[in-house]
Structure 1
Amino acid sequence: MSRLTHHNEPVVINEKANPYRDCIQGLANQPITVVRLLRDAANENPALVKQQKFNVPEIRDVVGRLVENRPRVAIIAGAPDHPAHLLDRPHALMAALRVWEQGGVPFLFHVPVICDGTAQNNIGQSYSLASRNTTATAVNITFEGHSYHAAYVIAGCDKSPSAVVAGLAAADRARAHRGDQAPVWAVFAPAHVLKGGEIPEGTRRLLDQVANDADAAGHVDLGGDIRENMRYILQCTSDEAFAGLLERARLIGVIDGAMERRILDELATATCDSKGGICAFNGTGNSSRTMLAAFGLTPPELELLTDVPPYEAVASGVDTLFSVFNRPEYAIGNLLKANFANFVRVHNATGSSSNMLLHLPFMMRHAGFDITIDDYQAVRTETPVPEIFAHSLTENRDTFVLARQMAQGQNRGMESIYRVLSDLGVAMDLDAPTILGKTWAERIAGLDNPVDLSLGDKSVIRATPVRQRSGVDVITGSFFENCAVKTSGMSDHLLNHFNNHVFIVRYYENEHVCNDDFAAPDLVDRLMKTDGVDPALVKAIVKRNGGDASTGMTARDMLAQGYLSFAFVIGGQGPEAYGMPEMFSPSQNLRHHRILEASSMLITDGRYSGVTKGACIGHMVPEAFTGGGIGYLQNGDILRLNLTSLSLDWLERDAFLDGREVPGDPAKVADRKVIFDQRHQRMSNRQLDVAACNVMDHVSNAARGIVPEMVDRRAILPWR
């Protein structure tokens, strides 16, 4: 699908200002960086240079191009201490060669990328979301400070792609106000997909033995949970689940600490392919890949890579940029605006990460558009979409497989998704522009078979919906403004079972205490000894959820059958309190614990990993630290979840025991003020764990993307 072209006449950017012509210092300083970049590129790719009859330029050649206002293209790559960016260097050097060959001036800079897996379940998670805001600022500073025209972005994992989009979009918005510079154009080349690992045969035998020993010790639920997790491809996420399962095995005496350590070390050694890449699960990394393509920012040749791309693909990406220079309708801000609703639909249809509900308003507000998650939910409500992604880590349908299917011509990636949704009657805006200089209608014209039907159940993209309900929903309630639930992460059984369901609150002020409970051999006893839990409440809860506590069922039975349900609430994790870390570890422990998954849900003002499965509600606004109702909940409170009306309410206890359901707000209960004040003091003390320069102070709430105060205030443009 190569679009290799050469411009007969060099492209010159039309704009009033040219800092390199009008400021001798930049003209004196920057050419040596270009020459060094091209020399490195020539040394890395001698065959390409020879083939193109290309000679490494002297400084005079660079100076001439800068004075003429040829396109100054920033190649943005990531830090090599993140697995997704291990192959960035050869990719970036090929891009530099092509920019020069097309008459432009290439530059290269890198941004830091925190691996959310590495930061998981430790203090690093309090820096993870802050890194998104800081990276957006750093991209904007470098792009504006050195007056680049365009970007070729080797996009990485987690929240990093959203940060780069936001930084470039902010530059685009500022230039529109100044009026003397051209807008910002950008092409994104998402990093390659990481091939999932396999559990070594010896390690598999050890895990089988642990599962069998758990069965023999009377813990068949643990044995089953271990066997279930062994079905997954080996990724850092399945390793996290094994960590929780093996801790449970150690605490019940099935294994000792040495065996636990041995198995975990063997799993870690076998997890990542040496080439690195973005993990193959459909978490925030691959949801960001989907996002970039859905916004029309990614050429098909670069959408789903499994290795360093061939030169022809890189050249096509660079040529795409050169084809839209001096065409403001293809600037990054315009593509974001035109494709916003399309991305919401694609996000839901592909069952993508709940984290995108933070990153979407974050990007759009940096671009100047007044968008919150209310706009997301409005599009979702106006245009329901079915789930057309049959992504699975247990049935050989992960993102690496999706990339191979695209490479073999069995789908066309994002173009297939647009075609399928359009064919299913979803109101996609096919007139929206893309960076290719074509609308979506033009890109999918003639795509009569968007998916190779001969793949059958092996296909990741499905022309026939997997199910009718998917995506992420925005929930409102009696004690908060809004929060997010990943509907696509819940099975149909859980969606039905937890619809119009009541739960008993068990409250935690950090995830580590919650994890300790989940691993405890006496978990059921701990739950039944929760403050406020008494026989009258248990009987009322079980009856309300369709069971009968008078039949002699044990507490374990009532939990396993889902009649007795707990809401594990982890408060004080919001952006201002503690950087909004992911509660992935407790979510994995819940997901891979048969009793808990059947009975309970997690609630937090923090966030979850994009790969989270099960009943998990996050991003609660207002957060506890700023006085949100979640900070006033206490053990033994009653919550009612309704997934049809998308509501979560706190119910008055006395009325509930009397057979009535009266929604209310715990913050209005007189004696809760003392509880909240004590918690707030502990939150303030815990905030000192985070270095002062990365405390997220003066930011908007989660519904508005957690953007800096000034970004939030300037986001006034309508998007419709």
Structure 2
Amino acid sequence: MRSDNLKKGDRRAPHRSLLKGLGFVNEEMDKPIIGIANSFNEIIPGHVHLQTLVQSVKDGIRMAGGVPMEFNTIGICDGLAMNHIGMKYSLVTRQIVADSIEATAMATPFDAIVFIPNCDKVVPGMLMAAARLNIPSIFISGGAMLAGVYKGKKIGLSNVFEYVGQFESGKMTAKELNMVEDMACPTCGSCSGMYTANTMNCLTEALGMGLPGNGTVPAVFSERLRLAKKAGMQILEILKADLKPKDIMTKEAFVNAVAVDMALGGSTNTALHLPAVAHDAGVKLTIDDFNEIAARVPQLCKLSPSGEYFIEDLYRAGGVTAVMRRLLENGELDGTQKTVALKTQEELCKEAYINDEDVIKPWDKPAYAGGGLAVLKGNLAELGSVVKAGAVADEMQVHSGPAKVYNSEEEAVDGILGGKVKSGDVVVIRYEGPKGGPGMREMLTPTSVIAGMGLDKEVALLTDGRFSGATRGASIGHVCPEAAVGGTIAVVRDGDIIEIDIPNRTLNVKLSDEEIAARKAELKPYEPEVTGYLKKYALHVGSAVNGAIEEY
């Protein structure tokens, strides 16, 4: 066993002495040591309950004959970090999570690891760590928050951001806004829609790294505790089978995950996270793969923020395995792929049921004819850009309008709330990319304000930063090359006509090649005014088109 480096032989007497200082008894020295990478903190609603969940994991490990050893990693709440400097630190934590777990697990040779993530950057960071370590692993997420209810309608966090726009435009009173903020987040758990956290938890199932239910069982259900206990028990079976993450996370598994992503209408952030995880797994996954799969797989689920249903509804409709069953039946899922359940995806799909065809729509009657995400290219995004196509109104699928250019999110919000953005405009927010931000901030506030003001079917937004998984509308992010490295987005001026064609996957500014080249020749080198970790990040982070991974 890997943990014999801690426990076996005369030369390990000092190591055993330290273990006994932790409370180990001799009888535990012959048992497998199972690491538990926990992301509990009192900052994030999705993580505040994880101490209860980890106890169930430990119970399961002990029941199956293992010895649990828990350690923690960091986490940031994207909602709390939104629309201020804190959001610059969100994406960078994905790397910190991966690095800290790698370091801990290499210094402490566990035989296997149970990963307990829940929110946006923690899930992919832990998947990256699992791929790097490549020892038997299983994921059990904290589960989704239940939706709130306001005036008989289910609501989530994204609605609160949009209601701010309604309040600012006089469509909602301060009392109503206060009522909404009291009701939108009624329980612990990752925010209740198909935002980034829940998308990634669902895709962890699709990759084969989580048991069925990992992505959709609500955080407050006792079933979540039972699933955690099963995960603790199952890791010993995975260890016996010597099944490792790279055995599971193959290229075919990533294709499965992207197909499920398209069917769910997931967050645009998956175009950052899945390629980054694939990179650490030794698999090449590109945004062109996303477009290729989107051409074959329709969006079957219309979940918040682009629809009326929430994760709890997907859970009751049959969950991720039900969606995968739909894909398998239509030839768009590789059922031979391995899973931590020690069954193939096909075997798991055969056990699944589809309980609600309003939530998981029939293949021939999809919510959106194409996949939920689309990659657009053109002279404004030569390497690519990403939009949640299934969340864009029909009238904005093809749009041409004058640019309103802002060099930061704060400038854009001030301009929108100041009445400077009119119907038909294309709001351009630049110098918010991985290097330029740095940190590639999410732009939920500007998109939500636009939606709240009733302009989401009239105004488009594009940025070299990101859009939150809670975003809907014609919001195009990840524009590459970014402004900070001299991409075309850096030379767009107010009034330039921008042409968006989502069905044909194009994004262009109506300028000649000569005019673009002349403007670029006038650009001055850009360096963000940052210190500390952000300076280090800006020096090493790569393009969003490759997952914004660190490059050395």
Structure-2 residue corresponding to 1:116: 78
2:328 is equivalent to residue 427 of structure 1: no
C-alpha deviation, 1:571, in angstroms: 0.6
Post-superposition Cα deviations, 1:254-294, rounded to whole Å, max 9, x if no partner, equal 99xxx74x654443333322x41111111101101111111
Post-superposition Cα deviations, 1:645-677, rounded to whole Å, max 9, x if no partner, equal 31212223xxxxxxxxxx5375402x5543x32
Distance in 1 between residues matched to 2:28 and 2:208, nearest whole Å = 31
Structure 2 CA distance for partners of 1:298 and 1:30, relative to 1, 3 Å: same
Task: For 1:117-196, list aligned pairs within 5 A.
Answer: 117-172=79-134, 184-196=135-147
C-alpha deviation, 1:417, in angstroms: 1.2
Post-superposition Cα deviations, 1:85-119, rounded to whole Å, max 9, x if no partner, equal 12211221121122123221201112221111000
* Residue from 447, 452, 471 that aligns with 1:592: 452
Structure-2 residue corresponding to 1:702: 544
Q: 1:577 is paired with a residue of what secondary structure?
A: coil
User: Contact conserved, 2:430 with 2:483, CA < 8 A, in 1?
Assistant: yes
Give the TM-score, by structure 1 length.
0.71
User: Contact conserved, 1:71 with 1:105, CA < 8 A, in 2?
Assistant: yes
Task: For 1:19-34, list aligned pairs within 5 A.
Answer: 19-21=6-8, 23-33=12-22
Structure 2 CA distance for partners of 1:31 and 1:82, relative to 1, 3 Å: farther
Which of these two proteins has the greater Rg computed from alpha carbons?
1
C-alpha deviation, 1:460, in angstroms: 4.8
2:405 is equivalent to residue 507 of structure 1: yes
Q: 1:187 is paired with a residue of what secondary structure?
A: strand
Structure-1 residue corresponding to 2:388: 486
Distance in 1 between residues matched to 2:453 and 2:328, nearest whole Å = 39
Structure 2 CA distance for partners of 1:196 and 1:442, relative to 1, 3 Å: closer
* Residue from 469, 481, 490 that aligns with 1:610: 469
Q: How many residues align?
A: 544
Task: For 1:19-418, list aligned pairs within 5 A.
Answer: 19-21=6-8, 23-33=12-22, 35=23, 59-65=25-31, 70-172=32-134, 184-199=135-150, 233-249=154-170, 260=174, 264-273=177-186, 275-300=187-212, 302-306=214-218, 307=220, 309=222, 312-328=226-242, 330-337=243-250, 338-381=252-295, 384-392=296-304, 397-403=309-315, 405=316, 411=318, 413-418=319-324
* 1:418 aligned partner, one-letter code: M
The alignment's C-alpha RMSD in Å is 2.6
Distance in 2 between residues matched to 1:399 and 1:324, nearest whole Å = 28
2:428 is equivalent to residue 441 of structure 1: no
Structure 2 CA distance for partners of 1:692 and 1:149, relative to 1, 3 Å: same
Structure-1 residue corresponding to 2:374: 473
Q: Structure 1: any 5+ residue segments left out of the alignment?
A: 1-12, 36-57, 173-183, 205-230, 525-558, 560-564, 653-662, 711-720
Q: Which protein has the bigger helix share?
A: 1
* 1:422 aligned partner, one-letter code: L
Post-superposition Cα deviations, 1:230-277, rounded to whole Å, max 9, x if no partner, equal x8634332221122222233xxxx99xxx74x654443333322x411
Distance in 2 between residues matched to 1:332 and 1:394, nearest whole Å = 33
Post-superposition Cα deviations, 1:291-348, rounded to whole Å, max 9, x if no partner, equal 11111112125443322645543332223222222434x3112211141110111100
C-alpha deviation, 1:590, in angstroms: 2.0
User: Contact conserved, 1:198 with 1:234, CA < 8 A, in 2?
Assistant: yes
Structure-2 residue corresponding to 1:623: 482
Distance in 2 between residues matched to 1:243 and 1:170, nearest whole Å = 42
C-alpha deviation, 1:78, in angstroms: 2.5
Distance in 1 between residues matched to 2:262 and 2:458, nearest whole Å = 26
Distance in 1 between residues matched to 2:504 and 2:286, nearest whole Å = 20
Q: 2:169 is paired with a residue of what secondary structure?
A: helix
User: Contact conserved, 1:476 with 1:648, CA < 8 A, in 2?
Assistant: yes
* 1:430 aligned partner, one-letter code: G
Q: 2:539 is paired with a residue of what secondary structure?
A: coil
User: Contact conserved, 1:75 with 1:151, CA < 8 A, in 2?
Assistant: yes
Distance in 2 between residues matched to 1:107 and 1:626, nearest whole Å = 44
Q: 1:475 is paired with a residue of what secondary structure?
A: strand
User: Contact conserved, 2:302 with 2:308, CA < 8 A, in 1?
Assistant: no
Structure 2 CA distance for partners of 1:401 and 1:576, relative to 1, 3 Å: same
C-alpha deviation, 1:520, in angstroms: 2.5
* 2:517 aligned partner, one-letter code: K
Post-superposition Cα deviations, 1:206-249, rounded to whole Å, max 9, x if no partner, equal xxxxxxxxxxxxxxxxxxxxxxxxx8634332221122222233
C-alpha deviation, 1:640, in angstroms: 2.0
Q: 1:416 is paired with a residue of what secondary structure?
A: helix
Distance in 2 between residues matched to 1:77 and 1:607, nearest whole Å = 24
* 1:492 aligned partner, one-letter code: D
C-alpha deviation, 1:521, in angstroms: 4.4
Q: Structure 2: any 5+ residue segments left out of the alignment?
A: none
Structure 1 range deviating more: 701-710 or 603-612: 701-710
* 2:166 aligned partner, one-letter code: L
Distance in 1 between residues matched to 2:420 and 2:433, nearest whole Å = 30
C-alpha deviation, 1:513, in angstroms: 1.8
Q: 1:599 is paired with a residue of what secondary structure?
A: coil
Distance in 1 between residues matched to 2:431 and 2:351, nearest whole Å = 52
User: Contact conserved, 1:385 with 1:426, CA < 8 A, in 2?
Assistant: no
User: Contact conserved, 2:169 with 2:453, CA < 8 A, in 1?
Assistant: no
Q: 1:29 is paired with a residue of what secondary structure?
A: helix
Determine what percentage of the aligned residue pairs are the same residue: 22
* 1:20 aligned partner, one-letter code: K
Distance in 1 between residues matched to 2:307 and 2:273, nearest whole Å = 29
* 2:181 aligned partner, one-letter code: A
Q: 1:169 is paired with a residue of what secondary structure?
A: helix
Structure 2 CA distance for partners of 1:355 and 1:276, relative to 1, 3 Å: same
Q: 1:135 is paired with a residue of what secondary structure?
A: helix
Give the TM-score, by structure 2 length.
0.91
C-alpha deviation, 1:490, in angstroms: 0.9
Moved over 6 A (4+): none
* 1:697 aligned partner, one-letter code: L
Structure 2 CA distance for partners of 1:585 and 1:366, relative to 1, 3 Å: same
Structure-2 residue corresponding to 1:668: 517
C-alpha deviation, 1:30, in angstroms: 3.4
Distance in 1 between residues matched to 2:180 and 2:320, nearest whole Å = 34
C-alpha deviation, 1:599, in angstroms: 2.7
